Structure 1
Amino acid sequence: MMMANKPGDEGAKVDLGEDSRVDSGIECLKSLNKEDQGGMKAARGPSSSDSDSGKDKVVDNVAEERVDSAYSSAYSSAFSMESLMEQCRLSEPEAPPIAHETQGAEEDSNLLATITEDGDTILHLAIIHEESEFAQQLIDLFPKDVLDIQNNLYQTPLHLATYLNLPMVVRDLVQKKASVELQDQDGNTALHVACEQGRMECAGEMTKEISMRQFAEVLKMQNWRGLTCLHLAALHKNYRLMKFLMKKGADLNVQEGTSGKTALHLAVELHDEVLVTLLLNKGANVDAAMFNGCTALHLAVGRQDATIAHLLCQSGADKMLRNMEDETALDLADGNDDILALFPFDDIQISGRSVVGIKF
């Protein structure tokens, strides 16, 4: 599932309307005629104009929701993939009559070259229906440009295969050089989807056929909420994926785009001692500051989390750093004895400011 950043406030989800869709440039891929579109529409369930109920919502901030490609394979459908697979006849036909060879080939070609009113190719549909073997046949048949076609939600087949946890389909797509950098309507690459949904096996398959340099570029990419793959793995407390990304060279100190939080800041906000310890042990910068100057220690003290504040202090957190409000972590302790015990009181202070080092 595509990408650009837009700053917002700290926890806000940013919905950019910027069009990052990539046109395939394949002229042979045509829209369905009205009769075909009617059949596919029935297969998808009611559209926004047909009914206001029974919709499978996936993206809340999209005005017109879709049923099939919105990362769901469980929608009600009168559409038969078996019928479609039979029509495609990817296997060798048994000695068809010569008079029908040309007509049959044209029908197969038209079906394979079809794009539905929702922007889905037959490959999108095969993956949505979790017809892995059929999808793998199509991947082998189609050129790379077709594999990278994005539907109306900017989802590529790779996005969908990752969401639906079809690692063998992911493997075949990446082997055929399908792009791992394209972003969906939320700015997510397929690797973002893997980190958000916990698709470890799919993430592993993505790294086998691409260079470390290309993978490093994907790790830097932010979705429209400003989050990298590492941030998403941290937010979902997926330690296994976190370790995987670290092993692949993810920058532990990369800042998300809205407020400048690192994965360590997020771990502190989640009160996740395990993740804080993991990040510190792997070399995360304990004094990394957000855009407002707050360090992880500021956040821990402000949230009255003495345990994590203690972990940060043990890792050498600077207790005297000030944020943009000119506050140290101590200023945020708010009388918490457990946290105050972490701070020395042998300094001379005037109005809360340390005057150590002043010559009298």
Structure 2
Amino acid sequence: MAQSGGEKQGKLDFDESRIDSGIDSYKSISREQDASSDRSQEKEKACVTDERLDSAYVSSSLNVDSLGDIIEQCSISECESATDCEYTEEEVNFLTTVTEDGDTILHLAVIHEEECFARQLIDLFSPELMDIQNNLYQTPLHLATYLNLPSVVKGLVKKRVSLELQDQDGNTPLHVACEQGFWDCANEMIHNASPSKLSCVLEAQNWRGLTCLHVATLRKHHRLMRLLLKNGVDLNLQEGTSGKTALHVAVELHDAPAVNMLLNKGANVDAAMFNGCTALHLAVGRQDATIANLLCQAGADKMIRNMEDETALDLADGNDDILALFPFDDIQIMGRTVMSFS
């Protein structure tokens, strides 16, 4: 790239001495402008005193103001494309610095919701750099999802970052979106990911054995459930601890709309947990006549026995509303009907 006056055009200008360090956490980060700062009036307005949503992440050794100073030093946008810029080894080392908490400058830009700066870094970085996990095994994509920044999520996914990396709880970024109910972030991941990557993510279990569909069902995020169902998730995937499908989970939560949705999309009504219980066993055991009726209408087998050798009828425990769903056969002696219970 051509140089003028001994300086590269469109480079990242910075003063390495401005990097702060030694801050233990983001537990109570103040967004208030330091009185001695010469930051612009517009930047002042963007800073407010607030307890951060990302406080649970406890990640970074740079504070808000020092990161703002770094951003003001940057001139990435002077290039037509950040990938066209030429950088010195010193500048590359700066951009790829990892803090004591394992965060890159991209992690920090996302944490502070500096979306414009984050997108510039995304344009600049290779997928390998953007897949670096911090000490809590979070990638920038995890953080962008947790903070509900769909534009950053879109930029990351379009650059083909990994959707499969798991944080300290085993959650992929899509798990995080399903946990928090962030439909926009989930939608960006699903529609910008390659089919092969998406398939792997939809089948991935976190350390509790839950897939994304299990998590969305647990949180009763019906819109997210519909998004997953529309995009090829296996309805009958079992979670890893007890073998529940999403249908079992919805029944346990007495979530009739979710049960109806799953059945309409073709969920196996007779799928059994590791202990042999079907969704009907769970509905009857919980005295939920409404959901038991939905399952029976979907063709649930009333005679399946669990590992305790119990049918769903055995669990009815005298509940008339549920017993009405189980018609008795006529009693016959020598081939002749002597009593009818139907």
Give TM-score, length-normalised by structure 1.
Answer: 0.74
Is this contact kept in 2: 1:44–1:76, CA < 8 A?
A: no
Is this contact kept in 2: 1:123–1:138, CA < 8 A?
A: yes
User: Which of these residues, 206, 209, 220, is aligned with residue 223 of structure 1?
Assistant: 206
1:306 aligns with 2:256: no
| Structure 2 CA distance for aligned equivalents of residues 183 and 135 of structure 1 | 21
The corresponding residue for 1:81 is 67
Identity %: 67
Deviates more, 1:328-337 or 1:200-209: 200-209
1:238 aligns with 2:229: no
Q: Which letter does structure 2 place at the counterpart of 1:119? A: G
| Structure 1 CA distance for aligned equivalents of residues 283 and 314 of structure 2 | 12
Deviates more, 1:140-149 or 1:126-135: 140-149
Q: Residues 111, 86 of structure 1: CA spacing in aligned structure 2 closer, same or farther, 3 A cutoff? A: farther
1:115 aligns with 2:129: no
The corresponding residue for 2:138 is 155
Q: CA deviation at 1:89?
A: 3.9
User: Which of these residues, 145, 151, 170, is aligned with residue 128 of structure 2?
Assistant: 145
The one-character-per-residue Cα deviations of 1:80-104 (angstroms, maximum 9, x if unpaired) are 32112123443449xxxxxxxx9x9
The corresponding residue for 1:41 is 22
The corresponding residue for 1:90 is 76
Q: CA deviation at 1:161?
A: 0.7
**Partner of 2:271: helix, strand, or coil?**
coil
| Structure 2 CA distance for aligned equivalents of residues 111 and 45 of structure 1 | 22
Is this contact kept in 2: 1:225–1:258, CA < 8 A?
A: yes
The corresponding residue for 1:330 is 313
Q: Which letter does structure 2 place at the counterpart of 1:44? A: S
The corresponding residue for 2:43 is none
| Structure 1 CA distance for aligned equivalents of residues 320 and 62 of structure 2 | 58
What is the root-mean-square deviation of aligned Cα atoms in Å?
3.0
With CA pairs under 8 Å and 6+ residues apart, which has the higher RCO, 1 or 2?
1
| Structure 2 CA distance for aligned equivalents of residues 45 and 180 of structure 1 | 25
Deviates more, 1:108-117 or 1:293-302: 108-117
Unmatched segments (≥5 aa) in structure 2: 1-15, 29-50, 80-85, 333-342
Q: CA deviation at 1:250?
A: 0.5
Pairs within 5 Å for 1:272-291:
272-291=255-274
Pairs within 5 Å for 1:7-26:
none
Q: Once superposed, which parts of structure 1, at least 4 consecutive aligned residues long, lie more than 2 Å away?
A: 39-47, 55-59, 75-81, 86-93, 104-111, 207-211, 345-349
Is this contact kept in 2: 1:162–1:193, CA < 8 A?
A: yes
| Structure 1 CA distance for aligned equivalents of residues 246 and 180 of structure 2 | 17
1:67 aligns with 2:50: no
**Partner of 1:204: helix, strand, or coil?**
helix
**Partner of 1:80: helix, strand, or coil?**
helix
| Structure 1 CA distance for aligned equivalents of residues 77 and 267 of structure 2 | 54
Aligned length: 289
| Structure 2 CA distance for aligned equivalents of residues 279 and 46 of structure 1 | 40
| Structure 2 CA distance for aligned equivalents of residues 309 and 126 of structure 1 | 50
The one-character-per-residue Cα deviations of 1:200-241 (angstroms, maximum 9, x if unpaired) are 111111133322232111111111100001101111111111
**Partner of 1:115: helix, strand, or coil?**
coil
| Structure 2 CA distance for aligned equivalents of residues 230 and 46 of structure 1 | 31
Is this contact kept in 2: 1:42–1:79, CA < 8 A?
A: no
| Structure 2 CA distance for aligned equivalents of residues 278 and 207 of structure 1 | 20
| Structure 2 CA distance for aligned equivalents of residues 241 and 181 of structure 1 | 19
Q: CA deviation at 1:111?
A: 2.6
Q: CA deviation at 1:58?
A: 8.5
